[in-house]
Amino acid sequence: MLMGVMTTHTTDCEHCGQPTGLGAFCCSGCEMAHAMINRLGLGRYYDRRTLDPALAAPKPDTPAMDFSALAVPAGDGIQRLHLMVEGLHCAACVWLIEAVLAQQPGVVAARLNMTTRRLRLEWRAGEATANDLVGAIQALGYRVMPYDPVRLADQRSQGGRALLRALAVAGFAAGNVMLLSVAIWAGHAQDMGPATRDLLHWVSALIALPAIAFAGQVFFRSAWTALRARRTNMDVPISIGVILAAGMSLLETMQGGPHAYFDSAITLLFFLLIGRYLDARARGRVRGAAEHLLALQSGAVSVLAEDGSVRLLPARQVQPGMRALIARGERLCVDGIVRQGRSDIDTALITGESLPRLAEPGLQLHAGTLNLTAPLTVEVTAVGEGTLLAEIVRLTEVAEQGRAAHVALADRVSRRYAPVVHLLALITFLGWVTLGGMAWQPALMIAVAVLIITCPCALALAVPAVQVLASGRLMRQGILLKSATALERLTGIDRVVFDKTGTLTLGRPVLLDIGDIPDDALTLAASLAAASRHPLAQALAQAAPPVPALPGVTEVAGCGLECGSIRLGSRRWLGLDAAEDSATGPELWLSRPGAAPVRFRFTDRLKIDAGDVVARLQARGIKVSLLSGDRAAVVAGVAAAVGIIDFQAECLPEAKVEAIQHWIAAGERVLMVGDGLNDAPALAAATVSLSPSSAADISQNAADIVFQGDRLAPVLEALDVARRADALVRGNFAIALGYNILAVPLAMAGFVTPLIAAAAMSSSSILVILNALRLNRQRAS
């Protein structure tokens, strides 16, 4: 991000080694990763100054399968591999895997998305192998397999059903054990005999213990995997609490004691599973959308062979350059260019536009596009991970896994919470036994209540729940986040700066007054223009009826086209009066023997909602400016048409950057909306940037957010979603922190039972998720 101020670097980041200012770390992400690695006893792997290659990482396991064949070249000697990682339960898992992989020899990039569980690995060939890197992950206790969208969807469905089964078993057992507990509680007031009480305790144990063993597997397995790798996660205190409550109750029952809390243990598990299931459902909404997009590429393609025969091939076997037949009603599995046929196509999955558009020879199509009315022949240009559809999913994953300020705060607090949770529970137990004179059994139950009620699940969900839903909502409308911090930076924008061509306008010249042009002149000019790729020539050829290109046409650079004595080009080249040169828009002139010159005027039409978007921005108190490199008269006309008062014309890229830096220096937060390729310096200089981009430009432009389509409404939608997401995140923090401030002292004081603790902890997580889900129910204003 260009900020106009040069910083003197005095130190290097202690984690990644990048130059930083006076601080020890270049970013909060490095600070968190460094603290976690040291806490887990892996610090010896991360001293970049004295790194011993023999200690570069934990000793990798040998993978059960060979992953080398799945790696693909990415250019410049780089190998790329997409994997699916199972066993992720919190953000700490992502940090640990990324941090360990970053220290492997030759690794260039390692990015893991918690929502889709996809790991993207890049490394230098010769310095590492795919099996070495996979083994390093497996050594941490995670399962690794090749990335398969269909398999991922199946596993997510299986995981959801397993959670639901566990929830049903826990709920059934909790209801029955609670009935027995009511009988025991009533018996205490009515002089129930010890034999009857012990019998009810044993019946409760027979119901609760098998249910706990089955329903608690999701927590127990995660905790065991973490402890085997000498680390902790949120499932560790949960598992300890459930096992302590159940174990102590069984011991008391075997000894004929009065203190049995099977009802608390199983009901605790029931409420925890409710929170886990709702969290999985919330993440599944966005994960399901991404999986659906990727699954669209896993179908079969009808490939046209050189002999005219048609073969049905899986999409993964199709190669660029092949010709595919796309039937009416069929959805494309590959990217390609239309070579034959005309049809209406539905591009809603790609652009968010609801209206079909016409596909004709030369048009670029993308995987996920639906062919509506007639067959098409398409030349394949990209398949699999090279398609736009795969790029959209990657951008969405990047948006979900970023290290925004809110994320850094929540993650830092959640990570440091684990040792605090165990310490508070131990202090509570010892305090009640030694200072309060309480028996160890009830003191242990108070400690269990503290252990459960202080679990930072709600705080850990505060940001991710909103972030995942926000990126999913924008993705469904053709708005792609390339930076995870973009939404956070969009809040509080003071000024929106627009580029003109391709931003406020369509960026495509259109022939004006076609009805006033003689037919013979239009036909002749079109036959000349058909031989050129100049934008004005192409616009003229498209406006005229189809005509063949005139043979023998020569293109004179900077002047125009000529064929013998016939010329189509600029006024100056044709020898016309230069003083009358048009100041209002581009033009071409046709000169032919025996006839007066004919003028063809063009315009770049405004986007249909440009004026409305500018007016709505101004109504919100946001300043709107226009910076353009075009001529002053043209820029003034566009500014007047859309209602922008502050505009500058004939701006070079450096002038745009200077203007943006001036506004930022004055304390304004600036949003730049411009073409992602030629406005890269201005986009980088702004506080945050958006780019209307053709599909082919998505991965190339410098903007933080890319939106599809020929409208500017996505600018308002992004601002609205950012504002609402920020409000929801703050609300989630208030819920999570308020809950802990109120509940922890009550639990330590003994006023909260494990049952109430489980209900309170799960309720706080559910409230956070329900609050985040409001984002999908709110409409942009």
Does the structure show a pLDDT above 80 at 434?
yes
Q: CA 772, CA 733: separation in Å to the nearest integer?
A: 11
Q: 138 and 130 in contact (C-beta within 8 Å)?
A: no
Helix 610-619 to helix 632-642 angle (10° resolution) is 70
**pLDDT interval class at 350 (50, 70, 90):** low
Q: CA 125, CA 77: separation in Å to the nearest integer?
A: 6
pTM of the entire predicted model:
0.56
Q: Cα(first)–Cα(last) distance of the chain, in Å?
A: 30
Of 30, 26, 1, 27, the residue nearest 11 (C-alpha)? 26
Task: Over range 8-30, report the average pLDDT.
Answer: 46
Task: Over range 588-612, report the average pLDDT.
Answer: 89
Indicate the pairing of strand 505-511 with strand 598-606: antiparallel
Average pLDDT, rounded, for the chain: 76
Does the structure show a pLDDT above 90 at 623?
yes
In sequence order, the β-bridge partners of residue 486 are none
Strands of 479-481's sheet in order across: 479-481, 705-707, 688-692, 670-673, 495-498, 623-627, 646-648
In percent, the amount of the chain with pLDDT more than 70 equals 73
Strands of 598-606's sheet in order across: 505-511, 598-606, 587-591, 566-569, 560-563, 554-556
Q: CA 500, CA 115: separation in Å to the nearest integer?
A: 38
DSSP letter, residue 29 = H
Cβ-Cβ contacts under 8 Å for 66 (sequence gap 6 or more): 131
656-675 tens-digit pLDDT: 888 998 999 999 999 999 87
Task: Over range 591-617, report the average pLDDT.
Answer: 90
Of 718, 672, 674, 677, the residue nearest 696 (C-alpha)? 677
pLDDT at residue 653, rounded to an integer: 72
**pLDDT interval class at 400 (50, 70, 90):** very low
Q: Among 431-445, 499-513, 695-709, name the one with the lowest average pLDDT.
A: 695-709
- C-alpha distances (whole Å) from 733 to each of 154, 419, 507, 740 are 34, 21, 44, 11
Handedness of CA 548, 554, 557, 558 (dihedral sign): negative
**pLDDT interval class at 572 (50, 70, 90):** confident
Catalytic residue from among 499, 630, 704, 726: 499
Task: Over range 605-630, report the average pLDDT.
Answer: 90
Q: Among 16-20, 318-322, 377-381, 455-459, name the one with the lowest average pLDDT.
A: 16-20
User: Is 630 an active-site residue?
Assistant: no
Q: φ and ψ at 126, to 5 degrees? A: 100, -25
Please give the helix or strand (H or E) that residue 135 lies within, else none.
helix 130-138
56-75 tens-digit pLDDT: 344 455 555 677 777 878 77
Q: Which residue has the tokens 């309060």?
A: 436
Of 688, 690, 508, the residue nearest 606 (C-alpha)? 508
- C-alpha distances (whole Å) from 528 to each of 551, 594, 598 are 9, 18, 14
DSSP letter, residue 372 = -
- C-alpha distances (whole Å) from 485 to each of 151, 465, 495, 664 are 31, 15, 18, 18
Q: CA 750, CA 631: separation in Å to the nearest integer?
A: 76
Which one has a higher pLDDT value, 563 or 19? 563
DSSP letter, residue 351 = H
Task: Over range 362-373, report the average pLDDT.
Answer: 83
Q: CA 75, CA 392: separation in Å to the nearest integer?
A: 21
**pLDDT interval class at 423 (50, 70, 90):** confident
In sequence order, the β-bridge partners of residue 588 are 600
**Amino acid occupying residue 745:** P
Q: Which residue has the tokens 């991922």?
A: 152
Of 686, 688, 470, 715, the residue nearest 617 (C-alpha)? 715
- Strand residues in 444-597 grouped as ranges (E): 479-481, 495-498, 505-511, 554-556, 560-563, 566-569, 587-591
In sequence order, the β-bridge partners of residue 377 are 325, 340
Instruction: Of 404-408, 635-639, 653-657, give the range with the top mean pLDDT.
Output: 635-639
Q: CA 652, CA 674: separation in Å to the nearest integer?
A: 14
- Strand residues in 430-559 grouped as ranges (E): 479-481, 495-498, 505-511, 554-556
Cβ-Cβ contacts under 8 Å for 523 (sequence gap 6 or more): 544, 545, 547
Strands of 376-382's sheet in order across: 310-314, 300-304, 323-326, 376-382, 335-340, 364-365
Token digits of residue 593: 């023997």
Query: How many residues does this entry show for the chain?
Result: 781
CA dihedral 689, 692, 697, 703 (to 10 degrees): 0
Token digits of residue 136: 């390093």
